[in-house]
Chain A
């Protein structure tokens, strides 16, 4: 099983700041990494797939990068609606999710 470790567990920032979230895989997963955003009481929302491809309708302030074992989700300038929990997911071997990063307002 491929384990995804997300860091930090919690990230406290202010609107307008830049957010950098990390996801590390226990073995190489090429570019088979997806990012989701989840708000309380809602289903996850697809943000980024295959490491760097924005999903339809996702604002350009969201970007993804990385390959192999280390991946990053960057939100260039935080909007109030961006404060949520973010999960990464790999599809290289079965499907597993990271434990999530909570992005909270500072």
Chain B
């Protein structure tokens, strides 16, 4: 059974960079059939897609966040990561990693449990 687990600081200061890692177990991140993505959800609000990537490094970003987002992959650790720079309180959210069925875009069939990141001084 595929499992994804987000990890990283739960508190980030305004203007700093948010960094999260997603560890994939029960399957290979290098599978040719899937992309991997990040989605976030502010408390009490809806879902917002952040970015997707392929294990080879191909990436696809939400245009509204593209200038601040970097995603990367470490196939040796079966992990992929998210960095979001210049954060503000508006970036406070539960951040999910997920597996994407599709090429560049698609639907998410496996999700991590999510990790709450609060932006506050």
Of B46, B102, B109, which contacts A91 at CB under 8 A? B102
Contact size range, A: 20 to 34
Of A46, A50, A91, A100, which contacts B105 at CB under 8 A? A91
Residues in A with CB closer than 8 Å to B62 are: 94-95
Residues in A with CB closer than 8 Å to B48 are: 97
A99-B46 contact given A49-B101, A94-B63, CB 8 Å threshold: yes
Of B49, B113, B114, which contacts A94 at CB under 8 A? B49
The residues of A with any CB-CB pair to B shorter than 8 Å are 1, 32, 34, 36, 42-46, 49-50, 55, 87, 89, 91-92, 94-100
B113 A89 Cβ-Cβ under 8 A: no
Chain B positions 22 through 52: 1 when the CB is less than 8 Å from some CB of chain A, otherwise 0: 0000000000000001000000001111001
A44-B63 contact given A49-B101, A91-B106, CB 8 Å threshold: no
